[in-house]
Amino acid sequence: KLSHRLEAVANNIPEGTRLADIGSDHAYLPCNVVKKGTVSMAIAGEVAEGPFQSALEQVREESLIDKISVRKGDGLEVIQPGEVDCVTIAGMGGTLISTILEQGKSKLEGVSRLVLQPNVGSFAVRKWLIGNGWELIKEEILEEDRKIYEILVAEKGEPMKPYQHINFENGILFGPFLLKEKPEVFKEKWNAEKRNWERILKQLDEAVQNEDTESKRQELKTKLKMAEEA
Ligand code: SAM
């Protein structure tokens, strides 16, 4: 059984697609969607030897070796152009996810959907999508084991569309759909961030004042203002 987080990722993989799950670790996600029949085949990509072996083991154990190809390599280098329709990248930081997408751009031709689950720094993913012709079509936020996760779903389209009637900077940081819908978990996340920023600001106020503390204070004040607006 998948974690709620991976279940939510799986639910955004369209029926009948061919999947590449990059940074697959135990290959739980591809095994699950292949068994359910959601996807016809899958590639599980892993850069590290340990997780690569775990993926192989899992796929063998579940007798899925004819439907899931476990490949070792960095990011999207494990796929050929046109080989898959959907790419999932989950459980990493947003910066790493956007680096993987950027370096593997040429492999995304023919891919119609990206399902991305950054643990932190989702703004980096949103920025990459905008710069590369991908339109965010849905965002989800969920809490599991006291951690909060975001899921970003994108398809080729009009990248600026979700940002049309909102403040762009806020949209990038908070997520255009999440900002509109403001789910309970979303409020929880940003209230916690806000408390954290306020705490740091207070410490800075008490510290020796110099250029560094001043610029940090300004940065935190800007973020606080954005969070309050949101
Ligand atoms: N996707 C799974 C999940 O969401 O539960 C596993 C997440 S795990 C925390 C991150 C995995 O990504 C690790 O197994 C790591 O080896 C792999 N990884 C990190 N950078 C990668 C890269 N550039 N290419 C492929 N895999 C990578």
For residue 208, name the pLDDT band (cuts at 50, 70, 90).
confident
Ligand 1 pocket by Cβ (under 6 Å): 6, 22-25, 45-48, 51, 74-75, 90-92, 96, 100
The complex's ipTM works out to 0.99
CA of 75 to the centre of ligand 1 (A): 9
CA of 171 to the centre of ligand 1 (A): 27
**4-165: in CATH 3.40.50.150:** yes
CA of 48 to the centre of ligand 1 (A): 8
Cα separation, 103 vs 139, whole angstroms: 24
For residue 31, name the pLDDT band (cuts at 50, 70, 90).
very high
Q: Is the pLDDT of residue 10 over 90?
A: yes
pLDDT at site 113: 98
Nearest to 221 by CA among 206, 172, 207, 202: 202
- The residue nearest atom 18 of ligand 1, judged by CA position, is 23
Work out which ligand 1 atom sits closest to the CA atom of 89: 1
- The residue nearest atom 3 of ligand 1, judged by CA position, is 91
List the domain boundaries for the chain. Answer: 4-165, 186-229
CA of 160 to the centre of ligand 1 (A): 29
- The residue nearest atom 17 of ligand 1, judged by CA position, is 23
Q: Check if the beta carbon of residue 230 is closer than 8 Å to that of residue 190.
A: yes
Q: Check if the beta carbon of residue 169 is closer than 8 Å to that of residue 139.
A: no
pLDDT at site 229: 87
For residue 212, name the pLDDT band (cuts at 50, 70, 90).
confident
